[in-house]
């Protein structure tokens, strides 16, 4: 059975029909890419999946259960937005470790986990740089690594996320562990 299953999803913005019967499924460990022209509804689909938008029709099931009535914060999804929304005043390491800090992990645990994930996404050496001091691709990897701060098992990404998928997702899994479990 697919882990995530979207069936006949419909979404209207006022009178404009943005999604007209979108269906797709993704199994555990599968990497799925939504590919299509600008404005075709990729982000709208992901927003419905994450619970930021309520669809007007269709269903979204995770492991067989509809999640349409589950609020966004209980859906267990993480999102990397198309703009990376990095904190401009925080260094690369601070951006990545911020979620762990909120979850009250110890300083040494944050340092270890951030170090590990930075190595895996090949950001080591850039830990003290500010977002404006790194390239677009490096910012993208910071956003991906940072998103791993939550416990989200499923990580929809902005549609313009390009490549570099396998290793960062592996890295994300490490940061996603609860504090004290590293």
Nearer to ligand ATP, 11 or 147 (CB): 11
Of positions 4, 6, 22, 42, contacts ligand ATP by CB under 6 A:
42
Question: Would you say 9 and 23 are in contact if contact means Cβ atoms under 8 Å apart?
Answer: yes
Window of 41-49, 95-103, 133-141, 166-174 that interacts with ligand ATP by CB under 6 A: 41-49
Window of 35-43, 53-61, 94-102, 110-118 that interacts with Mg ion by CB under 5 A: 35-43
| Distance from chain centroid for Cα 1 | 22
Window of 10-18, 100-108, 109-117, 120-128 that interacts with ligand ATP by CB under 6 A: 10-18
Q: How many C-beta atoms lie closer than 10 Å to residue 136's C-beta?
A: 9
Of positions 43, 45, 139, 140, contacts Mg ion by CB under 5 A:
43
**Residue 159 binds Mg ion (CB under 5 A):** yes
Q: How many C-beta atoms lie closer than 10 Å to residue 31's C-beta?
A: 9
**Residue 73 binds ligand ATP (CB under 6 A):** no
Question: Would you say 78 and 154 are in contact if contact means Cβ atoms under 8 Å apart?
Answer: yes
Question: Would you say 135 and 90 are in contact if contact means Cβ atoms under 8 Å apart?
Answer: no
Tokens 């500010």 locate to 130
Window of 38-46, 60-68, 146-154, 165-173 that interacts with Mg ion by CB under 5 A: 38-46
**Residue 159 binds ligand ATP (CB under 6 A):** yes
* Beta partners for residue 62, in sequence order: 4, 65
Strand ranges (E), the chain: 4-13, 16-26, 57-62, 65-66
**Residues of the shown chain interacting with ligand ATP in the complex, contacts defined by CB under 6 A:** 13, 16, 18, 36, 38-44, 159
**Residues of the shown chain interacting with Mg ion in the complex, contacts defined by CB under 5 A:** 43, 159
């Amino acid at each position: 059975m697919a882990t995530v299953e979207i069936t006949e999803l419909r979404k209207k913005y006022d009178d404009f029909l943005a999604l007209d019967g979108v269906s797709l499924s993704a199994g555990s460990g599968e990497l799925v890419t939504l590919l299509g022209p600008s404005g075709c509804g990729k982000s709208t689909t992901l927003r419905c999946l994450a619970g930021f938008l309520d669809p007007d029709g269709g269903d979204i099931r995770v492991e067989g259960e509809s999640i349409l009535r589950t609020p966004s914060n209980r859906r267990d999804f993480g999102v990397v937005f198309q703009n990376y929304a990095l904190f401009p005043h925080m260094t690369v390491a601070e951006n990545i470790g911020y979620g762990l800090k909120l979850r009250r992990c110890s300083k040494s645990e944050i340092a270890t986990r951030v170090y590990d994930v930075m190595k895996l996404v090949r950001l080591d050496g850039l830990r003290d740089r500010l977002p404006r001091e790194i390239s677009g691709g490096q910012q993208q990897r910071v956003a991906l690594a940072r998103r791993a701060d939550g416990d989200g098992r499923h990580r929809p990404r902005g549609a313009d996320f390009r490549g570099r998928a396998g290793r960062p997702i592996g890295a994300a899994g490490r940061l996603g562990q609860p504090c004290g479990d590293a």
